[in-house]
Amino acid sequence: MSKSKPTLASTFCGIECLNPFWLASAPPTNCGEQIMRAFDAGWGGAVWKTIGEPITNVSSRYSSIDWEGRRMMGFNNIELISDRPIEVNLQEIAEVKRRYPKHVVIASLMVESKRESWHDIVQRAEDAGADGLELNFGCPHGMSERGMGSAVGQVPEYCEQITGWVKEKARTPVIVKLTPNISDIRVPARAAKRGGADALSAINTINSITGIDLDTFQPSPNVDGKSSHGGYCGPAVKPIALNMVQQIQADTASMLPLSGIGGIGSWRDAAEFILLGCSTVQVCTAAMHYGYRIVEDMQDGLLNWMAEKGFATIEDFRGLSLPNVREWKQLNLNYQIVARIHEDLCIGCQLCYTACWDGAHQCIHLDRTSPAPDTTLTPGMVEAESARRISTTPIPKLDAGTSGRTNAITPLERIPRVDEHHCVGCNLCSLVCPVENCITMERIDKDLPFESWEERVAKGLITSGTGEVMSTNT
């Protein structure tokens, strides 16, 4: 009997979701017309661009970091919340929910820190039909200077108090959006939970200045020769976001249903966030860069991966990676891997050698020599062999008349050698190598039991302060 097809449908803090892919509160969710087009493209939900008293934005508003030919590896903005009247936004929320009743619409809210102001905006947003409320306690620029956004999220007492005010009035789930611009994101997460939050979303953007023009000395984005720190997002922030998501979900005092945000642009990114405990993921920069239709590949890719792994629902793999993230002191000190260079794939670039000697542990060497030439070969044989070598392409080594990989043509003296006795298994060589699987990290069985630094301290083998090995001599 064939297995049932996986489904992306799930529930997030009581909200039924067609799929876990939501658009984050940002320019892609600025108005109803945009959000309806996004829903037509396949997005399961959208968090409306933050609603509050209308503001005046500056021009320009965006800047980016490009890396190795990739545009917008990191993206910075100094745009504020919605510049449209509150009532217009609420009317459009009502219209979107009328036309798309099964899609999730979350109202992102930000008003001044007064109980009556929050009570008023909560009632109006819910009366418009919002499925839930996201409290924007994370915006790092502009609004924070007015006592809102991250100015609230960075003070646990304010975070708890305002969440409590909202819960006094709210009938729908309350999601608190956390700022990453804080030493420990668990502190505001715990405060939001104490205030009664039903869920969390993380992370908001990171304070940044993306660059300075070396001719004009003006920072980006340029606003009449000046600029301001802005919110950084995009692929570059994903590792930071994953770390903070794990911190929240591994802490019982802050753990709540979580919507993951930060550098998500593919189904693989989404799967990583879900594996660390997120129920939904929110996307901004990738949609701004490539458009709404990226969600098609995100859905197909995640479904195919789920089918391959045997997962029927999001819940089947949500949080599976959390037990695998430990404190450093709990890692196995007896686990050992070494680098292996596969000669048939090596192109002789010697990047691994340079990286090891200048940036790591000096255990890769250039001391190999090719065998002495065969003097018995006739000129015709030498010519034929030379032609074969010339016609063979080192990368990807796929040539006419061959079925795939060929033997290495790189001279042996250009292929580095790993001193496995001194290799510490740092991985640097495999990371810099431009040829996939040319350098693999392989485990060395030392026939030793699991032993962590924490265990060594407990046994009295090392001191907890310095890590120095205690003498066993009497």
- Looking at the annotation, which residues are catalytic? 139
| Residue pair 52/85 in contact by the 8 Å Cβ criterion | no
> Which among 47, 48, 44, 49 is positioned nearest to 103, based on CA atoms?
44
Angle value at C-alpha 237, between 313 and 431, nearest 5 degrees: 90
Q: Tell me phi and psi for residue 221, to 5 degrees.
A: -75, 150
Residues found in the chain: 474
**Residue 431: what residue type?**
L
> Which among 22, 73, 36 is positioned nearest to 281, based on CA atoms?
22
Separation between Cα atoms, residue 322 and residue 251, nearest integer Å: 11
Distance of CA 11 to the CA centre of its chain: 22
Separation between Cα atoms, residue 159 and residue 166, nearest integer Å: 11
| Residue pair 8/312 in contact by the 8 Å Cβ criterion | no
Sort 386 into a burial class: Cβ within 10 Å, 0-12 / 13-18 / 19+: exposed
